[in-house]
Structure 1
Amino acid sequence: MRAVVQQRYGPPSVLRTTEVDLPLPGPGDVLVKVGAASVHLGDYFVMTGKPYVLRLVFGLRRPRHGIPGRDFAGVVAAVGKHVTAVRPGDEVFGWSTAGTLAEYACVPADHVAPVPVGTSLVEAAAVPTSALTALQAMRDVAKVGPGQTVLITGASGGVGSFAVQIAKALGAEVTGVCSSRNVDLVRSLGADHVVDYTRTDFTRAESRYDVILDNVEAQPLAAVRRALTPAGTLIPNSGRGGRWLGPLARIVRARVLSGFTRQHLKPFASVEKPRDLLTLADLLTTGQVTPVIDRICPLDEAADALRYVEAGHTRGKVVVTI
């Protein structure tokens, strides 16, 4: 099968499209013919091996899995002998730790969910990691509900575009922060208010918010906290930091600060929960969540897709078709 492969850590130029062996599903696995795979900033970090702390998980000297990519949507080609929930021919979406920028991916059966009727494979592939992060941040960490005010920075990006919609679905009054060119997009996602950061610094405005999901490290934590209510919740979901710890440095600072204030500083890492895939499928089915697709690239242009994501100006998601 054709796949994007990397033999060492490095920039997108280390990627090559080549022929590799077809993976074989184990007893509890599903073999999926991948139709589309989305890429996000985490894929870029894993590809480069920076921050270096990532190598403790993904391989010290070279990537443990030579095929990049995590999110996908496709058609089940074969199932292991213990799999009963899906069968060949079913359209599914989900995530794989073994790489998805390939014609086929082998996935544990509990890492997939049915693609909702009316949702394309491209749209479904855009969902798993980014929408899961948004869902868990809004529902589980901040416990957003009716009557709360929520501000989301990077509201037009991968996580942000889902977070705006999910916060609205949970009943919140939502303010999105974005650039001038994305104001109409963020408003179309359901935001009640939109702040153009090129004209207004939300940290110096009068409004205060019960919850802030900070997807863009454009302001210091102390400045962002000024826009919180006295007992509000700040979720820092950003920060590139240095080559060793990367975003972890900002997470550590938030953890330390949280012990000295009534405000709740809650950095978190999303957890891949199969039931949350089903929740996202329901939100897609009801139309409460619609993926925003920025670019669609063929497999041979996967390196360009990752370069574009790393630049940090995506409108929604970047999807690679196989």
Structure 2
Amino acid sequence: MRAVVVERYGPPSVARVVEVADPVARAGEVVVRVAAAAVTSGDARMRAARFPRGFALPARLGIGIRRPRRPVLGVALSGTVASIGAGVTGLAVGDEVAGMTGARLGAHAELVAVRVERLVRKPAGVTHDEAAAVLFGGCTALHYLEDVVPVRAGRSVLVLGASGAVGSSAVQLARMAGARVTGVTSGRNAELVRRLGAERVIDYTVTPVAQISGPFDVVVDTVGAVSTPAGRALLSDDGSLVLVLASLWQVITARGRVKAGVSGSRPEHMARLLALVASGELHPVIQESMPLDEIARAYAIVDSGRKVGNVVVRP
């Protein structure tokens, strides 16, 4: 099969499409023929060994000192069941599924073996591009805004990085919960963020983040734009600061009203997100979908820091 391999850390050009052996479904696994896979900020950080402050050493110890131990990156995918391992029930060859591979990665390929519990059925009304796009940012946003800091109707929510993969989902999920949403983005993406449900949009090129005044009941920083003290200063008396992209020190010291740490990808969250897309309540923002051969260009878009929503490749 064709797959994108990253054999050394570096710029987008280190990601190359080559022929590799097809995966085989082991017990409890499903091999999925990938129709679409997201190229996320997490993928880009692993490709470049560019991690939030303090995480460089632990991240390299986890994924590889000199190069990624798993050279085929990619986590969020949508496709069709190609084969089934022993002990798998409830799925058949040809079923359309979507999911996240977790630490095993491997989604940037024509075929990938995935643990069955990491997959959910893709609704017929959702395209493969939409399914692959919604999962990474959507699961992160749902984890923080439902499990960690439940957002309720009438609450005020500030989303920093409102036009990104996590931010665009956070704006919509907070609005669906009945919150009053303020989105921070560049002026060129302001209208998009309004369409997603923000009552107010702040152009950070005109009003720097340091000049934003609160209070807000929830501040969601998806891009590492505020320090912990600056984020706290934006909060109401019972408000919460959510640091999606946090330094190691911020994670270690997060307590009380400050929330940080790894988000999960629970099957029930994935199924819920896909159902919301199918019903038209949630709109995955996709900047561009492109062939797998254009993976370096996809990474360049992510590396630019100006990605709007999601970038998807089609193996």
Q: Alignment partner of 1:126: what SS?
A: helix
**Cα deviation per residue 1:165-203 (whole Å; 9 max; x = unaligned)?**
111122211111111001100011111221122222455
Distance in structure 1 (CA, Å) of the matches to 2:275 and 2:222? 25
User: Shift in Å at residue 139 of structure 1?
Assistant: 0.6
Matched, 1:66 2:59: no
Q: Which residue of 2 aligns with 1:3?
A: 3
Tell me: CA distance 1:222–1:31, structure 2 relative to 1, closer, same or farther (3 Å): same
Q: TM-score, normalised by structure 2?
A: 0.92
Distance in structure 1 (CA, Å) of the matches to 2:213 and 2:35? 47
CA contact (8 A) 2:209 2:225 kept: no
Paired residue total: 308
Q: Alignment partner of 2:260: what SS?
A: coil
**Cα deviation per residue 1:184-223 (whole Å; 9 max; x = unaligned)?**
0001111122112222245534441000001122333322
Distance in structure 1 (CA, Å) of the matches to 2:80 and 2:276? 21
Q: Which residue of 1 aligns with 2:13?
A: 13
Written as runs of structure 1 = structure 2, the 5 A alignment for 1:170-181 is: 170-181=177-188
Q: Which residue of 1 aligns with 2:287?
A: 294
Q: Which residue of 2 aligns with 1:47?
A: 47
CA contact (8 A) 2:183 2:193 kept: yes
Q: Which residue of 2 aligns with 1:107?
A: 114
Q: Give, as a single letter, the amino acid of the residue that structure 2 aligns with 1:17.
A: V
Q: Which residue of 2 aligns with 1:136?
A: 143
Tell me: CA distance 1:63–1:206, structure 2 relative to 1, closer, same or farther (3 Å): closer
Q: Alignment partner of 2:181: what SS?
A: strand
CA contact (8 A) 2:133 2:286 kept: yes
Q: Pairwise CA RMSD of aligned residues? A: 1.7
Q: Give, as a single letter, the amino acid of the residue that structure 1 aligns with 2:303.
A: E
CA contact (8 A) 2:137 2:169 kept: yes
Distance in structure 2 (CA, Å) of the matches to 1:3 and 1:292? 25
User: Greater CA deviation, 134-143 or 6-15?
Assistant: 6-15
Distance in structure 1 (CA, Å) of the matches to 2:201 and 2:66? 44
Distance in structure 1 (CA, Å) of the matches to 2:243 and 2:31? 36
Matched, 1:271 2:269: no
Q: Alignment partner of 1:219: what SS?
A: coil
Written as runs of structure 1 = structure 2, the 5 A alignment for 1:81-96 is: 81-96=86-101
Q: TM-score, normalised by structure 1?
A: 0.91
Written as runs of structure 1 = structure 2, the 5 A alignment for 1:179-194 is: 179-194=186-201
Q: Alignment partner of 1:144: what SS?
A: coil
Distance in structure 1 (CA, Å) of the matches to 2:204 and 2:105? 38
User: Shift in Å at residue 70 of structure 1?
Assistant: 1.0
CA contact (8 A) 1:202 1:227 kept: no
Tell me: CA distance 1:199–1:8, structure 2 relative to 1, closer, same or farther (3 Å): closer
Q: Which residue of 2 aligns with 1:237?
A: 244
Matched, 1:226 2:233: yes
Distance in structure 2 (CA, Å) of the matches to 1:216 and 1:16? 28
4+ long deviations beyond 4 Å: none
